[in-house]
């Protein structure tokens, strides 16, 4: 009998060991390019969720998640697609947290993710065009569409009684989509609505055209580490405008560090959240050394958590399990789950129960798998981002 028990125990241990595995998940963000100052904290936030899941020892029989980083560049669709191809075919990732910028996200989705049946959950690709893209149910995002951002930008101006603006936007899917959404929502006069290219050393020609058209405020729908910041610097150099309204791509500490005096008194909006889940994420992130006040950190944690919990719900570390279960774990009904409670979520799912992942951003995936979302309206006051309200 003793030998039988020992043999049974050994067999059980071997079975558990065989079931436990290394699960690879891709993280595709622009570690170089026009938002490179934002992506390190975004990546670290997603890896925080993967580590939290792995450390429980309760994920799929003791399996662990290994994040695999790749560079989207934010703007080079070919490079981003090649990076995603390597992650899927060479590294064997079962899902992708990312990409970040809308153009490269769309390229990866159509060129790589859909043909390979791999889910992408983006924390920051906000183009309205992604709402209707042919994705075979494989694309989700934890940030809201720019269709809503355009409306809020217009609301901010109208509340302040600003009736005339010039608009410049980065020449990308993101910039064009946000510019169109803003133009459709704004009742005032748009004197000029012109694109700019990222990566230029000199934006004096662009500013000359914007200044010639006039406007009480310059609306900058660009990127904080390249064109958008260059446009504002050129404006300051020539005295063209003294007040700016900035889209979400302009939010970042590097803006204050490089142009704090120039943008003093200006305004902007960025996807944001508040509440118990946000507070829980902030505590976890700060303990891990993450700048939780940076853009899209909350959304990145949530995107990663949804990938892991979808696999747990499906009972296997496969791309099929992720695709089939993201909406189930993201939305009601079920036990609400906050950051730091992923162990509880795994326990409930293992017992056959349901969860409603609230996360750091009050996650609720609507329509074709995108977030309802809220925005932070801020002003630059005394060299810092000061919240006006969450809307």
Please state, in angstroms and as integers, the Cα–Cα distance from residue 278 to each residue in 22, 204, 285, 293, 357, following that order: 29, 41, 10, 11, 13
In the three-class reduction of DSSP (H, G, I as helix; E, B as strand; rest coil), residue 194 is classed as strand
| Same domain flag for 28 and 141 | yes
Residue 11 domain-assigned?
no
**Mean pLDDT calculated for residue range 306-324:** 98
3-state secondary structure of 391: coil
Task: Tell whether 35 and 136 lie within a shared domain.
Answer: yes
Answer yes or no: are the C-beta atoms of 248 and 149 closer than 8 Å. Answer: yes
Exposed, middle or buried: residue 9 (CB in 10 Å: 0-12, 13-18, 19+)? exposed
Q: What is the pLDDT of residues 280-297, one digit of tens each?
A: 999 999 999 999 999 999
**What is the overall mean pLDDT for the chain?**
95
**Each residue's pLDDT tens digit, 332-349:** 999 999 999 999 999 999
Same domain, 140 and 42: yes
Verify that 246 and 382 share a domain, yes or no.
yes
Longest dimension (CA), the chain: 93
Confidence band (pLDDT; 50, 70, 90) for 13? very low
Would 3 be classed as within a structural domain? Answer: no
- What is the pLDDT, as a whole number, of residue 203? 98
- C-alpha separations of 272 from 89, 149, 206, 248 in Å: 35, 12, 31, 10
The Cα 123–Cα 125 span in angstroms is 6
* Same domain? 231 vs 380: yes
Distance of CA 139 to the CA centre of its chain: 13
Is 16 among the domain residues? no
The CB-side HSE value for 52 (13 A sphere, CA atoms) comes to 28
Taking a C-beta distance cutoff of 8 angstroms, is the pair 63, 317 a contact? yes
Are residues 295 and 261 part of one domain?
no
Residue 279 and residue 357 share a domain: yes
Domain-embedded: residue 164: yes
* Same structural domain, 159 and 243: yes
Is residue 73 scored above 80 in pLDDT?
yes
**For the domain that residue 228 is a member of, what is the CATH number?**
3.40.50.2300
Assign 270 a pLDDT band (cuts: 50, 70, 90): very high
| Predicted TM-score of the model (pTM) | 0.94
Residues 29/72, Cβ–Cβ less than 8 Å: yes
CA-CA-CA-CA dihedral for 6, 7, 12, 13, to nearest 10: 70
CA-closest candidate to residue 320, choices 112, 59, 23, 119: 119
Q: Is residue 12 part of a domain?
A: no
- Report the pLDDT value the prediction gives residue 2, as an integer from 0 to 100: 35
246 and 386, same domain (yes or no): yes
320 found inside a domain: yes
Full residue range of the structural domain in which residue 165 is found: 146-270+374-390
Burial of 309 (0-12, 13-18, 19+ CB in 10 A): buried
Residue 382 has pLDDT above 80, yes or no: yes
Per-residue pLDDT, averaged over 302-331, amounts to: 98
Mean pLDDT (whole number) for 204-212? 98
Position 385 scores a pLDDT of 98
> In this structure, what DSSP letter does residue 334 have?
S
104 in the same domain as 152: no
Q: Give me the pLDDT at residue 15, please.
A: 36
The answer on 258 and 378 residing in a single domain is yes
**pLDDT tens figures, 182-204:** 999 999 999 999 999 999 999 99
Mean pLDDT of 348-364: 97
Arithmetic mean of pLDDT, 78-103: 98
- Is 29 part of any domain? yes
Candidates 238, 242, 272; CA nearest to 149 is 272
Rounded mean pLDDT, 253-267 = 97
Position of tokens 């009601």?
332
If you write DSSP's letter for every residue of 107-153 in order, what string do you get? HHIIIIIHHHT-EEEESS---GGGGSS--TT-EEESS--HHHHHHHH
Q: Is the pLDDT of residue 50 over 70?
A: yes
In a domain, 103, yes or no: yes
How large a percentage of the chain has pLDDT more than 70?
Answer: 95
Average pLDDT over residues 373-383: 97
Angle between helices 297-314 and 276-287 (to 10 degrees): 100
- The number of C-alpha atoms within 13 Å of 350 and in the hemisphere containing its C-beta is 13
**The pLDDT of residue 322 is above 70:** yes
Average pLDDT over residues 218-228: 97
Same domain, 64 and 29: yes
- The vertex-328 CA angle with 343 and 20, nearest 5°, equals 45
pLDDT at 8 over 70: no
> What are 140-178's pLDDT values in tens digits?
999 999 999 999 999 999 999 999 999 999 999 999 999
The CB-side HSE value for 286 (13 A sphere, CA atoms) comes to: 7
Q: Domain count of the chain?
A: 2
pLDDT band, very low/low/confident/very high, at 19 (cuts 50, 70, 90):
confident
């Amino acid at each position: 009998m003793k030998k039988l028990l020992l043999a049974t125990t050994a067999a059980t241990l071997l079975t558990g060991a065989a079931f436990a595995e290394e699960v690879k998940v891709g993280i595709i963000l622009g570690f170089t390019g026009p938002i490179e100052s934002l992506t390190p904290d975004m990546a670290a936030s997603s890896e925080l969720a993967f580590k939290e899941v792995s450390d429980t020892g309760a994920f799929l029989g003791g399996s662990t998640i290994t994040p695999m980083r790749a560079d989207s560049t934010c703007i080079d669709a070919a490079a981003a697609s090649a990076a995603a191809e390597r992650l899927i075919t060479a590294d064997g990732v079962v899902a992708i947290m990312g990409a970040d910028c809308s153009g490269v996200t769309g390229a990866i989705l159509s060129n790589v993710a859909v043909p390979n049946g791999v889910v992408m959950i983006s924390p920051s690709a906000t183009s309205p065009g992604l709402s209707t893209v042919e994705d075979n149910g494989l694309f989700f995002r934890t940030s809201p569409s720019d269709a809503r951002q355009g409306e809020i930008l217009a609301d901010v101006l109208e509340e302040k009684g600003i009736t005339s603006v010039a608009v410049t936007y980065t020449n990308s899917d993101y910039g064009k989509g946000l510019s169109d959404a803003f133009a459709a929502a704004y009742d005032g006069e748009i004197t000029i609505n012109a694109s700019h290219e990222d990566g230029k050393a000199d934006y004096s020609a662009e500013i000359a055209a914007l200044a010639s058209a006039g406007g009480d405020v310059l609306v900058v729908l660009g990127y904080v580490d390249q064109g958008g910041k260059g446009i504002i610097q050129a404006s300051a150099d020539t005295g063209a405008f003294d007040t700016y309204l900035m889209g979400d791509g302009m939010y970042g500490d590097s803006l204050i560090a490089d142009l704090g005096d120039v943008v003093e008194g200006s305004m902007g909006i960025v996807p944001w959240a508040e509440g118990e889940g946000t507070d829980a994420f902030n505590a976890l992130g700060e303990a891990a050394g993450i700048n939780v006040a940076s853009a899209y950190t909350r959304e990145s944690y949530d995107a990663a958590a949804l990938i892991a919990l979808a696999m747990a719900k499906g009972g296997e570390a496969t791309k099929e399990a992720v695709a089939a279960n993201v909406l189930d774990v993201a939305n009601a009904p079920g036990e609400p789950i906050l950051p730091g409670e992923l162990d509880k979520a795994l326990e409930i799912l293992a017992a056959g129960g349901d969860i409603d992942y609230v996360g750091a951003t009050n996650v609720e995936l609507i329509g074709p798998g995108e977030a309802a979302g809220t925005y932070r309206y801020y002003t630059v006051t005394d060299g810092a981002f000061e919240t006006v309200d969450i809307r």
